């Protein structure tokens, strides 16, 4: 089954909402001033969905090369921004590095030790890429030169630009029906000057339900675990 059966292009999502609102459909993301408003609202929906939790559709892994005596590393995710980091491991070590506070790592680095890293902390953001920097401890030494950190993270979806033609024909990683429902709810609120209406309340409640179900798709609806919940103090 093609991916189009689950995910529409961004202009197709906007067209579906335009039909629900009984307005003429757009051919581009900047066709009309109202289309531009829908693009802005769709960006809000995409951000809201991404912030809801951990989405397996956004899972990524990259390698960062260690250099002897270097204590600060940038997570260079080419063409991507990072939503959050799940774990960082070093070379062939079985366990991931332990997360420490920036204060702890800075304190340790005042008298650095060298060897295979076992801890790390996020320390600032790189001004050029907008992605986080981390400092490991111990600092990689000569024996660790050119070994690698494996960084597992979830990327942040890029914002749509109404002036970029490719953004109209690209597809979001999120299910089309979820985007349509979320955008429809925001468009209803926008049309009514941010005054809640019964139609907006119903659309928002449906979006919230769909959001939970879509997130559960790969995060909860798996495995064969059985949970027994006591009732009235008895099993």
pLDDT at residue number 235? 46
Strand, coil or helix: what is 80? coil
The predicted-structure confidence for 60-89, as pLDDT tens digits, reads as follows 999 999 999 999 999 988 888 899 999 999
10-20 vs 176-191: helix axis angle to the nearest 10?
50
**212 φ, ψ (degrees, to nearest 5):** -65, -45
CB under 8 A, 24+ apart: contacts of 34-40:
35/162, 36/162, 37/187, 37/190, 38/14, 38/183, 38/187, 39/10, 39/14, 39/160, 39/162
pLDDT at residue number 192? 86
Which regions of the chain are under pLDDT 70?
1-5, 220-235
pLDDT at residue number 1? 46
Strand partners, 137: 119
pLDDT at residue number 117? 96
pLDDT at residue number 44? 96
pLDDT at residue number 194? 85
pLDDT at residue number 222? 55
pLDDT at residue number 201? 94
Answer whether 166's CB lies under 8 Å from 29's CB: no
**How big is the CA angle at 12 (ends 18 and 198), to the nearest 5 degrees?**
35
pLDDT at residue number 232? 58
198-219 vs 176-191: helix axis angle to the nearest 10?
160
In 157-232, which ranges are E strands?
none
pLDDT at residue number 217? 82
Q: Is 205 exposed, middle or buried (0-12, 13-18, 19+ CB in 10 A)?
A: exposed
User: Model's pTM, two decimal places?
Assistant: 0.82
């Amino acid at each position: 089954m093609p991916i189009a059966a689950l995910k529409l292009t961004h202009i197709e999502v906007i067209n579906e909402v335009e039909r629900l609102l009984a307005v003429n459909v757009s051919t581009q993301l900047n066709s009309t001033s109202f289309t531009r408003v829908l693009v802005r609202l769709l960006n809000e929906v995409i951000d809201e969905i991404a912030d809801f939790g951990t989405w397996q559709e956004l899972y990524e892994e990259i390698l960062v090369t260690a250099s002897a005596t270097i204590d600060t590393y940038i997570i260079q995710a080419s063409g991507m921004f990072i939503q959050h980091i799940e774990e960082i491991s070093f070379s062939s070590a079985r366990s991931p590095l332990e997360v420490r506070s920036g204060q702890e790592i800075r304190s340790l680095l005042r008298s650095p030790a060298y060897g295979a890293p076992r801890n790390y902390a996020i320390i600032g953001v790189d001004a050029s890429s907008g992605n986080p920097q981390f400092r490991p401890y111990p600092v990689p030494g000569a024996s660790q030169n050119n070994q690698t950190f494996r960084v597992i993270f979830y990327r942040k979806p890029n914002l749509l630009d109404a002036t970029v033609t490719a953004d109209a024909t690209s597809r979001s990683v999120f299910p089309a029906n979820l985007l349509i429902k979320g955008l429809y709810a925001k468009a209803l609120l926008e049309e009514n000057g941010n005054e809640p209406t019964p139609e907006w309340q119903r659309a928002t409640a449906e979006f919230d339900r769909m959001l939970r179900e879509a997130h559960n798709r790969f995060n909860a609806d798996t495995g064969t675990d059985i949970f027994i919940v006591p009732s009235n103090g008895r099993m």
